Amino acid sequence: MKLAELEKKLLAAARNLPEDDRVPYGFEHRVMARLRERVAPEGWALWARWLWQAAVPCLALTVLLSALAVLSVDSTGVNNTSSLDEQFQNVVFAAIDYDSW
């Protein structure tokens, strides 16, 4: 079939294309300059990386505290989370609690 012949000829033409391995003058300096820029990370990038790294421990702490809160239900079935709530509230509002001044 002529179409197959056309395909064969085009692929042969592609194989005949000479390998073009020219390199622009001083290209290695361009790469090294870009590397130096990347190696010294920007302040914000560093800060963002730290935040991401802190995310997992924070999540783990949240899960741990939640578990503790759930487990704080004592064996008699009386839930003492209200006291935990109160304690938490006291801590949060301690700074603006005028009575304690």
User: What is the binding site for another protein (CB under 8 A)?
Assistant: 2-3, 5-7, 9-17, 19-24, 27-28, 30-32, 34-36, 38-39
**Minimum CB distance to another protein smaller for 21 or for 99:** 21
Least distance (Å) between residue 53 CB and another protein: 18
**Minimum CB distance to another protein smaller for 20 or for 99:** 20
**Minimum CB distance to another protein smaller for 5 or for 74:** 5
Cα dihedral 72, 74, 79, 82 sign? negative
Least distance (Å) between residue 54 CB and another protein: 23
Least distance (Å) between residue 21 CB and another protein: 4
Write the secondary structure of the chain as one string of H (helix), E (strand) and C (coil). Answer: CHHHHHHHHHHHHHHHCCCCCCCCCCHHHHHHHHHHHHHCCCHHHHHHHHHHHHHHHHHHHHHHHHHHHHHCCCCCCCCCHHHHHHHHHHHHHHHHCHHHC
